[in-house]
Amino acid sequence: MRVIQFREALREAMSEEMRRDPRVFLMGEEVAEYNGAYKVSQGMLDEFGPERVIDTPISELGFAGLGVGAAMNGLRPIIEFMTFNFSLVAIDQVINSAAKMYSMSGGQYNVPIVFRGPTGNAGQLAAQHSQNFENWYANCPGLKVVVPSTPYDAKGLLKTAIRDDDPVIFMESELMYSDKGEVPEEEYLIPIGVADIKRPGNDVTIVSFGKIIKVALAAAQELEKEGISAEVIDLRSVRPIDYAAVVESVKKTNRLVIVEEAWPLASISSEITYHIQKHAFDYLDAPVHRITSADAPLPYAPTLIQAILPNVERTVKAVKAVMYRD
């Protein structure tokens, strides 16, 4: 199977859907003439023209609102935020318009729109450009929230998101755009809300999503050296969450560690912990442990960044804690 970059997988997904459906278009800052801030949309202007690959002013609230209106009138926009940190400027349109319109209109208006772009830290970008909003958007009824971790998942999930009749938040990572992985040439779709077991195991379940899956998998490799078999589950979407996949894994391993990049309060890991203690409490041999970022804005200094973010060492320590009840 061919190997392509994460950004290429996203580009293929958008281009294939735009060829398939003339109602699909891409809009955002630098997506056209500059070929995308991260070169995700490279070459798309040449193929589809300026009516379907549209450069916008630096006005997230404005072009998010245009996208919502277009979706209500039968089009299927892809709105790219240069970073989801900038989506805060547009959050009124995302939350109060896109997410609520179907309910408020009594089912008269669907809003088939995808808001996509990078989330989380991307190195030394400091506090205002390094935040995680997966749990924020997942808190809002009416939205679906997708956070892929591989090129294969990114393409299949983005194609599904574009075809969805509801608004989808599609979150990537600047640190993953150059990642390479196997992606079939033939068309495929991945359903939203179905987790993936990235590594089978028997002793402990590690749950994560997005780029932090790399931390979970690296920790599992380290644990294997000590005879601990870790099952790594990639949620792939955090609204809806595939609770059943996590419950079934915990019933097998009897231990759970959750790793995510967001701040600890009201995190996805908090939600999963609650669900597991309610639906799989009798199977747990140890309390659930979670690894999140420290409860502080991300600093600029690289040494402090490493201290704040989830890492392999902290994950291994958490697994040993649930294994040996330290």
Tokens of 321: 């804690």
- Nearest CA to 243 out of 193, 284, 191 is that of 193
**Residues 261, 292 contacting (CB under 8 angstroms):** yes
Cβ–Cβ contacts within 10 Å for residue 127, how many? Answer: 12
In this structure, the dihedral spanned by the alpha carbons of residues 295, 296, 299 and 303, taken in order and rounded to 10 degrees, is -40
Distances (CA, A) of 131 to 85, 86, 87, 104, 262: 6, 10, 11, 30, 7
Say which residue the tokens 């950004």 belong to. 7
Residues with catalytic function: 60, 129
**What is the 8-class DSSP label of residue 196?**
E
The tokens 């196997």 sit on which residue? 182
Please count the CA atoms within 13 angstroms of the CA of 156 that sit on its side-chain side.
22
Q: How many residues does the chain have?
A: 326
- The sign one gets for the Cα dihedral 316, 123, 266, 10 is negative
| Tokens describing residue 282 | 């009798």
